[in-house]
Amino acid sequence: MVERKPIIVGNWKMYKTISETRTTLSALRAAVQDVDSVEIGIAPPFTSLAAAAEVLSGSNISLAAQNMHYGDAGAFTGEVSAPMLLDAGVTHAILGHSERREYFGETDDLIASKVKAALENGIVPILCVGETQVQREADETVSVVTGQLSGALSELRGADLGTLVVAYEPIWAIGTGLTATPEQAQQVHEIIRDFIGDLLGGVVAERLRIQYGGSVKPDNAAELLAQLDIDGALVGGASLDSESLSAIVHAA
């Protein structure tokens, strides 16, 4: 059986100034300095990347972007490319977050281009998928999630996908305080792994790390992370506080 190193990533969304970034990350760095069995990442807003890179230099915390354009350079006002992110010290990118799909019209085709560009540039793509409350109640969870996966990945070959991370984030659990039960989350994670196996082969599926996201907190993290197919967490609200993110890391 393949060992999958748990990966915990904090998504700060549109929060924190540069000075707040420095304070929070200095505290986080100290709180997790002894951890080597968990991969840790932080996705600050773009304005804080330089400060975050400085504070995290030489630490066990990686720098992630919350979004990325698929091109290397060009006339794309407001966008940031993979080479620019690499230059800023970024190693991971959250792609296709439900907030980007909902508020900025990101489609599976666009997200597919971003995943491909991330992989080509050596950035670890964290591909987010998940269903709404209405879709879950209509029994559409599996078709929505597998549709998002095939939309974003079907043009890629298994060999290209070594570093891919998938984040299962039920939209009804994001920022709401509602969490999928460990059993509900495990059920979808297992379906995701089986589907990736069919799409890209058993080796990719076995190696694939699948994060859970949706109101992960210090008090529910251990139970979620104990599930067989849950290999980490994508953490929004609770990642803004160094103590709670560190507690989640230690739970993993």
The reply to whether 130 sits near ligand PEP by the rule CB under 6 A is no
* Beta carbon nearer to ligand PEP, 64 or 112: 64
Question: What is the footprint of ligand PEP within residues 154-213 (CB under 6 A)?
Answer: 169, 174-175, 213
Which of 6, 7, 8, 11 is in the footprint of ligand PEP by CB under 6 A? 11
Q: Specify whether 79 is catalytic.
A: no
Distance CA 211, CA 8 (A): 8
Distance CA 109, CA 101 (A): 11
* Beta carbon nearer to ligand PEP, 204 or 245: 245
Which of 85, 156, 235, 248 is in the footprint of ligand PEP by CB under 6 A? 235
Distance CA 179, CA 158 (A): 32
φ, ψ for residue 44 (rounded to 5)? -85, 170
Distance CA 1, CA 66 (A): 32
Q: Specify whether 189 is catalytic.
A: no
CB 18 within 8 A of CB 55: no
Mark the segment that binds ligand PEP (CB under 6 A) among 41-49, 57-65, 183-191, 235-243: 235-243
Q: How far is residue 230 CA from its own chain's centroid?
A: 13
Contact residues: ligand PEP, CB under 6 A: 11, 169, 174-175, 213-216, 234-238
